[in-house]
Chain A
């Protein structure tokens, strides 16, 4: 069965520091992978997605993610965090049939000055 694990419930980083949020998935075939961000009380905004091809994908707001099949991972990175990046981040895997999504439990990011 498909599943997504985000090992870090909460991360605190200083503004300007680099960021890496971890995501591990369990899926039998090539997965469709997504990172979404959710600001408090808001809907989910897509940061980036991976379907195939280049394993390093660029997204919005300066984020990137690297797909590593050997490690079943799709970690999100940003070289320099801004205070406005404080939010909840969700990794998700899309099923190849049925239009279903499987979300990870989320990582809450706090940015300190």
Chain B
């Protein structure tokens, strides 16, 4: 299974709502990532988890709260978002290591988030 799944596919929320995005992989990867992507732009890294521990936080506002409950799951909890947070949120996974071949990231289809 070389698939990364993300739910939901689409999400519309108000600025006072609390919602969560979910990502799952069963490739045995121990690194998982959240990216934010605006239209016609490259993905911007938000968070990296390595062995279920947060290893990189790219100065993301606290209204985004990641969680890695186990090696297969990655969540992104959303609270009090702003309209400018509307974007495609991509999850990815990879092996952990510094040798060649460990850097290939597998991406999910993304969640299209709209904040009203």
Q: Which A residues are closer than 8 A to B by beta carbons?
A: 32, 34, 36, 41-46, 49, 51-52, 88, 90, 94-101, 103-106, 108
Of the candidates B31, B48, B92, B98, which one forms a contact with A96 in the assembled complex, judged by CB atoms under 8 Å apart?
B98
Cβ B90 vs Cβ A43 within 8 A? yes
Contact between chains at B103 and A99 (CB < 8 Å): yes
Which B residues have a C-beta under 8 Å from some C-beta of A?
Answer: 4, 6, 31, 40-43, 45, 48, 50, 55-56, 88, 90, 92, 94, 96, 98, 100-110, 112
A43 to B37, CA, bound (A): 10
For the complex, what is the distance from the CA of A36 to the CA of B107, rounded to whole Å? 10
Residue of A32, A36, A41, A99 near B96 (CB, 8 A) is: A99
Distance A45 CA – B92 CA, assembled complex (angstroms): 11
CB of A97 within 8 A of CB of B90, answer no
Q: Which 10 A-B pairs have the closest CB atoms?
A: A94-B103, A51-B100, A103-B42, A43-B107, A44-B107, A43-B109, A32-B103, A99-B31, A43-B110, A97-B98
Report chain B residues within 8 Å CB of A98. Answer: 48, 55-56
- Asked whether A95 and B43 contact (CB < 8 A) given A43-B90, A43-B110, A100-B48, the answer is no
Known: A96-B98, A99-B48, A100-B56. A44 touches B104 (CB 8 A): no
